[in-house]
Every structure is written in structure tokens, then in C-alpha cells.
Structure 1
Amino acid sequence: MRISVIGCGYLGAVHASAMAELGHDVVGIDVDPAKIAALAAGRPPFFEPGLAEILASATATGRLRFSADIADAADAEVHFLAVGTPQAADSNAADLRFVDAAFEAVVPHLAEGALIVGKSTVPVGTAGRLAGRLAELAPHASLVWNPEFLREGYAVRDTLEPDRLVYGVGDDHAASVLDQVYRAAIEAGTPRIVTDYATAELVKVAANAFLATKISFINAMSEIADATGADVTALADAIGHDARIGRRFLNAGVGFGGGCLPKDIRAFTARAEELGRGEALAFLREVDAINLRQRQRAVDLAVAALDGSVHRKRIAVLGVTFKPESDDVRDSPALDVAVQLKGLGADVIATDPEGIDNARARHPQLDYVTSTREALRGADLVVLVTEWREYRALDPVETARLVAGRRIIDGRNVLDADAWRAAGWEYRGIGRP
């Protein structure tokens, strides 16, 4: 099919490349000329495993091209809106300016029977509003809301092999057209849920709210574990065997971050208040508060490990991205911990396999090195805050030869505490005795 993807940031660049990989004829549209030039040259503007390969393949075949001119999308049968919905500057609500601008820009170029497909995460009610606007401006076209469920680090696979497809539709025609786009996934047996606009919008934000709640729940339990001497990791293992609960996302640590979960739960809460149902989601404010508190707990552990003061102490911070397999430092707990330690007077040496450039752009006051060994050399304290594979695989004996002090804060509870203690380390985890 002929497809346009409007917005070529994280979501749009992955989606455009994946659609072309599936055999569709795709044009990616963005207002940033530098981003368009990089993508057209086959260079992803961010790190995502597998993206460079499918981007290069699709551009080489001619199935994928990029443009800054929305008119180049005019012959598309399906137009995906994949622009960002950041948190508003003056509130917790979502900023919908980019969604509205993309919608208004593409409407004059809609062919007969064309489909606008919303991918962006939006407050419930947005699709209904846009559908009403479309009926006025272009009654020959249709709207579907088709939320994305991408995980950074797995986004290419999640797009090519989704775990479910959700269509929020206003008519049967729209669903049949979208079925053609996702034919490969449907034929592979991917569950397909066709529903109304509001439900489709809620699926995305409800899923994120549930995941955030599960993470903050186990982090709350880690606080109780600290107060009682219990081990939150063993606790999570035990309750995770209950099929009603499950073990995934029950990992205590410095909390969640990134460009989705934090702003999405805040926007969901703000929308509930607008609907007069703020009390229904009041618990999400505590979920957010617990999450932010975890960062301070990691800092407090570092201060305690250094006998009450980090001033002029050399601290190796392992990781600055909000999660591994990504270069995303938006609302990153790891970067926040590093900045707080710097603010307390520590000599912070931060490292990360992919996120250094983005971190430096936001916080140039930190010292960054690309080598883990260099970061560790002479450190009075090691703080692991992003669970990259290479940090999880550190050998405690070899690491001990590099540092000045055998003290480590495991901010993700991913290390073998017994092995590190046996090697002479003072090991401290989150909610672990």
C-alpha cells in the first residue's frame, strides 16, 4: 500500500521503516530538515537495535523515502500520525499542538477513501474530536485510532511482530483498510481488537498506568523491606509465582523514566480531572511520587556508603539512559541520580554505551567517559543505575583492582550480592538486606 508517516521521531522513524520492510511504499514526513536528511541517507537519528538495518534496506530498495513537504504524502492511501505528545509546560496535561498541526496539515491532501491513522498517545476524547473535524473538512476520508505499544530497545520487533492490534474506528471501511496494512501480522495470528475511539485511546494509557503502578508497588515494598530487613527480590520472586500477579515488572530499583510512562500517567490523571473523575486516578499521583522518591533513595544510599558525605569523592555512575538498549535520557532516573550526586559535591564520572552525547547535551556539568574501565579507575564508590548487559556482567574481583574503594550501589538489583560481598565489596541494593 501507499503509506505516509507524519512525524519521524522515535515512533515515526521506526514505524515508517518497518512498514517499508513489510513491502509497503512509504514516505516519511517531518518538519526538521536535518532529521529528514539523516534518515534519507540511511542514518537513524537515535539508537534503536535493528533500526539501522531495516532503514538502510528500505531506502536502498526505494520503498522508503523522506520529505519535509507534506504535499509529498498526497498520493498515500493511509496516513499515520506519529508525532509527539509531550507534557505541557504549565501543567501535567498532554500538549496536543503537534497532533493538531499534523492533522490540519494532511487534511488538504487526502485522496478519496484515504485513511488517517492516529498512532500518538493522546488523552481520551482526542480521536472523537478529530473525527468530527474530519467530517467537516474531508468527509471522503476516515479516521482510525491505532495506539502503539513499542518498548524502546525492542521497537522494531514490536512493530513487525506486535502482540496485539487495536483499532478505534468510526466505520467498517476504516478497519478493512488497516487490515491490509497489517496483513502479515494478522495472518501470523496477532490478536486484533476493533472498538470505538475512546476505548482504543484508553487501552494505551491504561496499559502504561498499570505497568507504572506495578513498578511503583514493588518499589514501595522495597521501602518496607529496608525498614524490616526483608529482601524485596525474594519477595518479588515469591509473589510473582502467583499467576494473577506475575513476575514481570516486579523489579525494585531507581524507578521508571523515559519519554512515555512518566508523562503518560500525568496526562491520564489530568484528563480524568477534566472529566470530573479525578478521584478515580488519584492513586497515580502516589505512583508518580513513589517513582521519583526512588531516585533520592539511591542518592541517600551513596551518601551513607561514603560515611555521610560524597563531597570531593570520585563516584563512577554506570549508565545515564533510562533503560538499556536505548540512547534516550528523557526523564532518566540514572541521569537524575548522577546530577544530584554532582550537586552534593561529588566528582561524578558517568559512562554509558549509547547515551553519552544526549546526556552531555542536557547536563554538560558532568564528566563523561566512554570506557567502563576508565569510569571505574580510582572510584571511591560505584553506582549502577542502568542495567546494561556489560554492567550486569562485571566481575567483582577484576573490578576491585580498578577502584579505590570497594563500595557499590546496585540501583537495579541485578548483581549477585553474595559474589560481590565475597570479593570484599560493600554491596547495597534497593530493598535488599
Structure 2
Amino acid sequence: MALKITVIGTGYLGATHAAAMAELGFEVLGLDVVPEKIEMLGRGQVPMFEPGLEELLRKHVAGIEGSTGRLRFTMDWAEVAEFGDVHFVCVNTPQKHGEYACDMSYVDSAVESLAKHLRGPNLVVGKSTVPVGSADRLAARILELAPGGGEVELAWNPEFLREGFAVDDTLHPDRIVVGVRSERAEELLREVYATPIADGSPFVVTDFPTAELVKTSANSFLATKISFINAMAEVCEAAGGDVARLAEAIGHDDRIGKKFLRAGIGFGGGCLPKDIRAFMARAGELGADQALTFLREIDSINMRQRGQMVELARQALGGGSFLGKRVAVLGATFKPDSDDVRDSPALNVAGQIHLQGGQVTVYDPKGMGNARRLFPTLGYADSAIEAVRGADVVLHLTEWREFRELDPKSLGEVAAARVILDGRNALDPELWRKAGWSYRAMGRPTA
């Protein structure tokens, strides 16, 4: 009999996972505790922007004309327990207020609400990013609560989604990692992921702690690489070097590689910053805090980039006050191809300049609604050209393709001054300079 799958939590991770499981041919039931979210998903709509996700949902959500009908949504825990063989837990693990540690309350609540209804042989699979040791604790809790007792197992299967590429990352993962305690759990997960495995995705089987550590280790490594090149940008600023050429040169070394070596205003979003902080906090609880002290400096370098961008803007305006100066900010999301503004470096820079008296106008292709909710006091424009109109300086802070394709000549005609600061080292300096702009990027004083 074909496996039936449930997905607990239908936010960014859960909605993508549910749609992808339906695409792989499974009957899927998604659960959330927010009625508005369930209603929206039931109409084949998503509460966030993610390329390809809404189309995938509409292809499978029951009740939509022409759909396969393989995907439904509910708020009923008993229905989920009765329906599913494999239950994926995809709820959020935000940073605790006022602490570095991860807030496990949503995961704990989801596991407990589900476990008390599980009677038959079931596999609960954690996908949320959690502190190492959580799976051991949750497995014991499931054993206590589940009427099915020892027939209900836990496995850990971390997610590696990149916002903007989440659908492809789920259907064609670059690796599938599973932390399991039995051959049965491994076999079930091999069945779930049979299609990507057949397509060549590596399947890595390990224990609970290692599976939990893979995600936080990967994010810590990426954060380190990004902060490394940003530290080199600081040195290039001081020495008169060009960090873009430096990155190109070291990137030719196969041991280092070219990816994540573009200096700029640093990383943000809902994962990298909170994950490395939670990792530090957990290492401290385990007595291994000395092993991760370097991550504190990684975090510090990252946050420092934002302040340095503000100072670069101040210098571009003559070194004095921002009062009465008009500043255009291109970009609000923490990365392109997303509407996510959580811990966005672009919005942080815009907010700092606004607080110092600058008249800031922001434009972003997809993040305007979320940006307005988070920073209602900033100015917002409906297009790049409207944001730049009358600006004394233009800041390019999110590397959307739309911004790379802008016509510098047209923008120059509406700007008060042709001064652009490239906070992502993603624009073509020659192109902008030919159109009469003063171009400046972080770590490239001589570019």
C-alpha cells in the first residue's frame, strides 16, 4: 500500500515540503493551527513569495480544477494521525527574545499534540532546525505519549532549502540526510525519497546528533565564508585594494571555490543569523563553548558591515549629517527572489539612515508589503526610477536581477546627484561610470 504523508506546520518549509511530496506522487495532508493559512493554502495560494511554489500547489490541492487532488489541509490532529504513515514536523524554531538560544516551544507543542493520537506504526520525522540533543529528548517524549508505544518512531531529516530555490531544492536535493535508530525508519525514508535518490541525490544515513548538527554546521560554514570575504573588504578599504579581484583570484583555488565570496553588507534572513547564535548557545550548554567562539566574531563582522554601509553613504554625502538628504535604497529583502525581510541588512541600513535624519525611499520587486509592515516610517516607491527621483545618493542593497538590468542613463536623469553605492558588489562599475555616475562599492576604493 502506498505511503501517506502528513506535514505539520505549513509555513515556508512546510508548504514547500507538502507540495513537493504531492509532486512525488504521495497523498499528503498538511496541518496548521492558523485558520487563515489553511484557507489560503486550500485555495492554492501561498502566504509568501517563492518562485514556482504557488503553481506546484495549484497542481495538487484538492478542489482546484485540473489538480491531482493529492494535497489537502486540516486543523485536526486526530485526522492527521489517522491519515498518515510518515509525519514531517516543519514548524518554526525562532531565536528566543533576549537570548541567543533557539525557541523550541513550537516543535515541542507540535510533537506532543501529534504523539497523543498516534496508535499504529508511524514514523515522525523532524525537519526543523533544532539544537543538537533535541531528537533524543523528543523520541523519549513520543514514547511516553503515543498510544502506539514502541511502534511510533522518530527520525531526523534536516532541510537545506535556499529561499528562491526551495521547490527545486526539495525535488532535487543536493543531499538527503537522515538520522535514524532502526532499519525500518531508514527504509521508510528511502521510500519517501525514492525519486530523488534514483535521480542521483546522495542519501546519508547517520545518528540523531549528527543529523541535527549537519544543518547548523553547514550554515555556520557559509556564514564564516561570507564574513571572511567581508573582513577582507575591510582590509582592502584600509590598504586600497580591490576585494572583487581578490575574491576572483582566491576563488580559482578549488579548495576555496568562488561561491559566497562576494563582499557586501552581509547576511540576514530567518536562518543564518539565528542558527549560528543558537549553535553557540547550545555549545555552551554542552560545555563545548570554546569550540565555537569564532562564530561570535563571524556574527560581529556581519553586523559591522551594515554600519560601514551607513558610513559609506555619509561620506558620499560629504561626511556630515543625513538631515535633509534624500537617500534611495534599492532592495528591502535579505536576498533576491524572496519577499522575506527578516533581519534584512538592506532594511537595517535604510532604518539607520532614517533614524539619523535622512529622507529614505525604498523600492523592492517583491518585499514592499513586508517591509512596510516592519518599517512603516520609511518612504516607499512603486519602481526603482521613482525611488531614485530627487535622490542625493543611491544605495544598491539587494542583488535583484531587475537592479542589474537598470539603465543608469535613465536613472541619472531623475537623480539629484549621480552617486551610487553598491552594497552587494553586483553592478557593472564601467556601465554606471560611462553614464556619468560616481560608483563606489565596499572593499573597492580603487575599482
TM-score over 0.5 for the pair:
yes
Structure 1 stretches lacking a partner, 5+ long: none
1:184 CA displacement:
0.4
Per the alignment, residue 393 of structure 2 pairs with 381
In structure 2, give the amino acid aligned to 1:398: S
**1:113 aligned residue (105, 116, 121):** 121
Aligned counterparts of 2:57 and 2:79: Cα–Cα separation in 1: 19
**Per-residue CA shift, 1:106-162, capped at 9, x if unaligned?**
112224221000000000000011112223333211111000000000000000000
Match of 1:340 among 352, 361, 366: 352
Q: Is the 8 A contact 2:12 2:48 kept in 1?
A: yes
**Does the aligned pair in 1 maintain the 2:112–2:142 contact within 8 Å?**
no
- AA paired with 2:124? I
Runs of 4+ with deviation above 3 angstroms: none
Give the Cα–Cα distance (whole angstroms) in 1 for the partners of residues 39 and 380 of structure 2: 29
In 1: Cα distance, 2:359 partner to 2:211 partner: 48
Partner of 1:223: 234
Give the alignment of 1:2-401 within 5 angstroms.
Answer: 2-59=4-61, 60-74=67-81, 75-137=83-145, 138-308=149-319, 309-401=321-413
RMSD: 0.9
1:358-396 CA-partner distances (Å, limit 9, x unpaired): 011111001112211111111111000000001011222
Instruction: State the identity as a percent.
Output: 59
* Corresponding residue SS for 1:179: helix
Counterpart AA for 1:401 = E
In 2, the alpha carbon distance for the partners of 1:335 and 1:410 equals 15
The CA distance in 1 between the partners of 2:79 and 2:400, in whole Å, is 40
Whichever residue aligns with residue 27 of structure 1, its letter is L
TM-score by length of 1: 0.99
Deviations 1:140-197 (A, max 9, x none): 1111100000000000000000000000001110010011111100111110100000
Amino acid in structure 1 at the alignment position of 2:361:
I
Instruction: For residues 265-323 of structure 1, give each alpha carbon's deviation from its aligned partner in whole angstroms, at most 9, with x where no partner exists.
Output: 00000000000110100000000000000001111111110012221111110010000
Q: Would you say the 8 A contact 2:332–2:341 is kept in 1?
A: yes
Deviation per CA, 1:71-123: give whole Å up to 9, x if none.
22122000000000000113100000000000001112224221000000000
Aligned letter for 1:64?
A: L
1:187 is matched by which residue type in structure 2? Answer: A
Retained in 2: the 8 A contact 1:77–1:111? no
Cα distance in 1 for partners of 2:282, 2:306 equals 27
Name the stretch that deviates more: 71-80 or 225-234. 71-80
